[in-house]
């Protein structure tokens, strides 16, 4: 933890999450049922608002915190790098959404430039030291592959944006699009969540460890399946769905084992973070079962439901992680600076307000699923989602204000004596 970056490095990403979440909710009001049409421009704009502006933003902030702590990767001048990546990711996401709405070729090109710069800055900053870890296991291995997958997904996205900017689609466009979604949703988000789960579920909730074979083979199965699927699609080879089956079974196994581990935790308290993890695993199960249903029936209406369920899975885990990480960081940084009367974690974000967020998130997902059958429920889903992100923003700002007020009004203990003792020893 001594190598942890300043708290502002992580908070800038986390505080941007509710901003994009509110934009996503308002976009639901604006676009209505058009947002649920697969491959439509409204769906593309909504998907990238959610997955880039909300989920990838939170995951990028988490990486700045977790790499030094979990992988021993020291990031020099983290504030400067975080500022650059945050600015590029924020502006690039907004430009990409505008491109999908306006169909302006220049907007596609600029979005590609901004987002490509953000992701490759991140990859060049984090991947080389991660890949040099010869003793990499479990969580670190998952982070390595997740970052590689993120870079592959962005390369494929840049190829598509180039085609959009030129106004000409390649014969491989559908193969590239499918591979881009697979690497982004499974390779980047799925693998990073699995990697983090291997560490935090056992540590925060005091559960039995995940099975050894799961930790050892999950990465290999997912990454090999993604690479082979991309090759199969680009060369139009038969039976590409076989690789989706391997991916689905692996995700299914992860969800079932995580449910089991949460039920075996030795800390009986079921706070908001536990419920967010449970909700996330339930939605992941729903997404996987939806994929099996689509494969058997060929019913295209299952595709947007699968995407909503998968998005809900990633979003729920992100919410759970943020409610665990932010209070801990506020408490940890105040204590490490000598403010030993810092509030405890339950005083930094109210557990009642965090649980209210669980209910709002659950309502938004239920209304959203119901809207596939009854259009009238979509505005209610948007309203619940809007309130959910506004509450998240209030809770994060509240935690940030606790940190700022204590720094301003508190008197830290002089730690220089401990520092001198450490040097002498």
Chain mean position to CA 415: 37
Return the higher-pLDDT residue of 17 and 417: 17
Angle between helices 191-204 and 302-336 (to 10 degrees): 50
List, in sequence order, every beta strand (DSSP E) within 33-100.
none
Return the higher-pLDDT residue of 300 and 359: 359
Q: pLDDT digit string (tens) for 26-53? A: 998 888 777 777 677 888 899 899 999 9
What are the phi and psi torsion angles at 373 (to 5°)?
A: -100, -35
pLDDT reported for residue 424: 54
pLDDT reported for residue 301: 80
Reading the block at residue 128, the tokens are 């080389």
Map tokens 């089956």 to a residue.
245
Q: pLDDT digit string (tens) for 324-376? A: 899 999 998 888 888 777 788 778 899 999 999 999 999 999 999 998 888 89
Rg, Å, the chain Cα set: 21
Q: Which stretch of 321-325, 345-349, 379-383 has the lowest confidence by average pLDDT?
A: 345-349
Return the higher-pLDDT residue of 169 and 120: 120
Mean pLDDT, rounded, for 4-21:
92
Rounded Cα distance, 147 and 76, in Å: 19
Average pLDDT, the chain: 88
Mean pLDDT, rounded, for 184-192:
92
Reading the block at residue 397, the tokens are 């700002």
Give yes or no for a contact between 234 and 202, defined as CB atoms under 8 angstroms apart: no
Rounded Cα distance, 389 and 340, in Å: 32
Reading the block at residue 138, the tokens are 């479990």
Q: Is 208 in a helix, a strand, or coil? A: coil
Give yes or no for a contact between 53 and 24, defined as CB atoms under 8 angstroms apart: yes
Q: pLDDT digit string (tens) for 135-153? A: 667 778 888 889 899 889 9
Rounded Cα distance, 170 and 175, in Å: 10
Rounded Cα distance, 25 and 381, in Å: 9
Give yes or no for a contact between 115 and 150, defined as CB atoms under 8 angstroms apart: no
Q: Express as a percent the part of the chain with pLDDT over 90.
A: 48
pLDDT reported for residue 423: 53
pLDDT at residue 168 above 80?
Answer: no
Q: Which stretch of 91-100, 108-117, 124-133, 283-292 has the lowest confidence by average pLDDT?
A: 124-133
Reading the block at residue 288, the tokens are 């996987």
91-96: which pairs have CB atoms within 8 A and are 24 or more residues apart? 92/52, 92/116, 92/117, 92/118, 93/20, 93/48, 93/49, 93/52, 93/53, 93/57, 94/53, 96/48, 96/52
pTM for this one? 0.89
Give yes or no for a contact between 52 and 96, defined as CB atoms under 8 angstroms apart: yes
Rounded Cα distance, 118 and 88, in Å: 5
């Amino acid at each position: 933890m001594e190598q942890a970056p300043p708290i502002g490095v992580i908070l800038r990403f986390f505080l941007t999450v509710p901003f994009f979440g509110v934009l996503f909710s308002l976009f639901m009001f604006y676009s209505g049922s058009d947002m649920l049409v697969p491959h439509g421009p409204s769906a593309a704009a909504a998907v990238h608002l959610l997955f880039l502006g909300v989920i990838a933003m939170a995951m990028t902030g988490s990486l700045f915190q977790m790499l030094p702590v979990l992988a021993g990767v020291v990031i020099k001048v983290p504030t400067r790098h975080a500022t650059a990546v945050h600015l590029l990711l924020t502006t690039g996401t907004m430009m990409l959404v505008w491109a999908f709405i306006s169909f302006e070729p220049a907007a596609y090109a600029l979005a590609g430039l901004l987002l490509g710069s953000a992701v490759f800055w991140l990859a060049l900053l984090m991947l080389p030291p991660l890949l040099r870890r010869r003793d990499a296991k479990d969580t670190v291995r998952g982070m390595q592959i997740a970052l590689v997958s993120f870079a592959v997904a962005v390369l494929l996205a840049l190829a598509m944006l180039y085609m959009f900017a030129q106004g000409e689609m390649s014969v491989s466009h559908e193969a590239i699009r499918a591979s881009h979604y697979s690497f982004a949703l499974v390779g980047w988000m799925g693998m990073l969540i699995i990697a983090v789960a291997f560490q935090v579920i056992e540590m925060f909730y005091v559960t039995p460890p995940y099975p050894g074979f799961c930790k050892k083979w999950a990465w290999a199965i997912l990454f090999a399946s993604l690479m082979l699927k991309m090759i199969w699609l680009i060369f139009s080879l038969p039976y590409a769905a076989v690789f989706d089956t391997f991916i689905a079974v692996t995700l299914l196994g992860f969800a079932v084992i995580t449910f089991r581990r949460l039920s075996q935790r030795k800390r009986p308290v079921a706070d908001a973070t536990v419920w967010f993890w449970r909700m996330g695993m339930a939605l992941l199960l729903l997404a996987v079962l939806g994929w099996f249903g689509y494969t058997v029936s060929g019913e295209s209406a299952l595709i947007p439901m699968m995407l909503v369920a998968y998005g809900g899975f990633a979003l729920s885990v992100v919410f759970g992680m943020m409610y665990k990480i932010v209070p801990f960081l506020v408490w940890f940084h105040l204590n490490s600076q000598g403010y030993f009367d810092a509030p405890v974690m339950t005083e930094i974000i109210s557990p009642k307000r965090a649980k209210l967020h669980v209910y709002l998130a659950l309502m938004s997902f239920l209304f959203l699923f119901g809207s596939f059958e009854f259009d009238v429920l979509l505005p209610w889903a948007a309203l619940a989602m809007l309130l959910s992100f506004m509450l998240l923003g209030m809770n994060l700002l509240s935690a940030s204000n606790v940190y700022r007020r204590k720094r301003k009004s508190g008197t830290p203990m002089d730690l220089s004596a401990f520092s001198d003792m450490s040097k002498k020893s």
